[in-house]
Amino acid sequence: MGEYLRPACAILLPHAGGFLCGYLTHKELKTWFKKLNEPSFAPPDWVFPSATFTSYCCMGYGSYLVWRDCGGFEGGGVLPLAIYATSLALTWTHPPLLCKTKNLGLGVVSMLSVLGARVATAVMFKNVNSTAGYLMLPGLGLVGYATFLSYSRWKNNRTRRD
């Protein structure tokens, strides 16, 4: 049973923060965010939760592989896992930061920091376990797209005063 518990916990960890973000921002997402002028390439509402679910599962399992291959925190996994934790923290703070401040420019800066942290995590993970590095790719794609979408929202809504 223990052989399944650690990877399961690693996979569930990113989702826990994601659920908290959803709880903290659901009101603004249904009101303020829905009123934004979206770019033509904005996806339907169901896309991001589905893609985020997949991304979080991949990231979580990748973190488990790094933890396992480095011998836990006592081994050489401290730096890659600290960068991963930073990536998660930045990811989790983006929605409340954006929705509570209603500052789309700050949202772009926040997404750029998430993207940078995800790139660093992917590189560090790949140096430990190539599969873990590759498991970061869905999240990198998602965050890259979300960053461009965030910039486009900012550009389309610069004159808004909410």
Residue 128 falls inside a structural domain: yes
pLDDT in tens, 141-156: 999 999 999 999 999 9
Residue 161 falls inside a structural domain: no
Residue 7 falls inside a structural domain: yes
- What CA–CA distance (Å, rounded) separates 110 from 51? 19
**Six-digit token pair at 43?**
């996806």
Domains held by the chain: number: 1
pLDDT at 1 > cutoff 60? no
- What CA–CA distance (Å, rounded) separates 49 from 36? 19
Residue 25 falls inside a structural domain: no
pLDDT score of 160:
66
For a pLDDT cut of 90, what percent of the chain falls above it? 85
Residue 37 falls inside a structural domain: no
Range of the domain at 150: 2-18+43-156
**Six-digit token pair at 160?**
């808004």
Residue 150 falls inside a structural domain: yes
Q: What is the CATH number of the domain that holds 9?
A: 1.20.1260.100
pLDDT at 121 > cutoff 70? yes
pLDDT in tens, 23-58: 999 999 899 999 999 999 999 989 989 999 999 999
Residue 29 falls inside a structural domain: no
pLDDT in tens, 70-112: 877 667 778 999 999 999 999 999 999 999 999 999 999 999 9
**Six-digit token pair at 26?**
């659901």
